[in-house]
Amino acid sequence: MVAQYFIKEPYLTPSCLLSETPVYQPATKTLYFIDMPRHQVLAASVVDSAVSKVGSATSEDWVEAFATADDAVIKKWTFNHMITYVGRTPEPDVLVLAAKEGVAVVDFKTLEPNTATVYDVPYKVHVFADRPTLRDSLRFNDANVDTHGRLWAGTMPLDWLSNMAQRIGQLWRFDGPEMTPTLVLEHLGVPNGMCWSPDNKYFYLADSAEHTVYRFDYDAETAAITNRMRFINTDAPIRPDGFTISESGHIFLTLTNGGSRVLEYTPHGGLVAEYHLPARKVSCCVFGGDANDELFVTTAHDPDAPADDQGGQIFRFRVKATALPYNALKA
């Protein structure tokens, strides 16, 4: 029987238009995430708040949900281009970014937060600079770092609702100190979340346009991906978005476009739990906390949702799983 949990209260209330790609930095107990339409990177201090047990509607299991942390400090930085991903490097305050036209590495200690300043994205690899055809039709989207410190990032149509059927999305990989770009896959719809299995045998990639999470065979040494297969499917109009994976190989997949929840799957694709949130558009999740057993979940504002929809806020709850070791960019 699939466990059903209903989380009622957000942990942070930044009221984003589209919060995405959370990453937890344990050295500073900071949660970084983005507000994509506003071109912002945000950093929230992860502080204690009241915890309540949320029982399953279908079993005797329970999870712990965190109440709103009114004293959490949130910093914001605004950039000239859309930011689509934030990830870790070996330095706590230095993040790797995917942005509209490429990738960057930014030391946030050098940038003043919460000001009217709009910072230029300091592209380390400006992928679209000499590719005007791509620049006029695509932007970068979600990304992730593998166990060898390589950054993988997808691109999607600028006008994705009109153009996703054309399958012009791509998957790129950035290798080595210079982050040399390699085009890995073409003819995708809207490539989104991506992760690797704990044993590094599989690479998972969500294509929101296809309502599918694909699984590939993966060679960690060469970074080759082969043998694509459909692993998880969602029913239209619900689309898979970002996801993370536990040390036991369980996939925690967010559902947007009316999905309103996080789904937990076994390594074999069996659904074991649903974590319902009061937001129609759930966008991404990441493990964090002192024991790496808490999920931080981002959501998006939906102007067509009921007035009590909590889209744009951040949720936090403790699950019966722990994170894989974090991968940091090596560049």
**Per-residue pLDDT tens listing for the chain (331 residues):** 899 999 999 999 999 999 999 999 999 999 999 999 999 999 999 999 999 999 888 888 899 999 999 999 999 999 999 999 999 999 999 999 999 999 999 999 999 999 999 999 999 999 999 888 888 899 999 999 999 999 999 999 998 777 667 899 999 999 999 999 999 999 999 999 999 999 999 999 999 999 999 999 999 999 999 999 999 999 989 999 999 999 999 999 999 999 999 999 999 999 999 999 999 999 999 999 999 999 999 999 999 999 999 999 999 999 999 999 999 999 8
Where are the domains positioned within the chain? 3-318
Which is catalytic among the residues 241, 290, 302, 304? 241
The domain covering 3-318 belongs, at the CATH homologous superfamily level, to TolB, C-terminal domain (2.120.10.30)
Give the C-alpha separation, 293 to 275, whole Å.
15
Cβ neighbours of residue 210 closer than 8 Å, sequence gap 6 or more: 189
List C-alpha distances in Å: 44 to 22, 201, 232, 285, 290: 10, 34, 32, 15, 15
Task: Answer yes or no: 120 catalytic.
Answer: no
DSSP string, 67-80: PP-TT--EEEEEES
DSSP assignment letter at 163: H
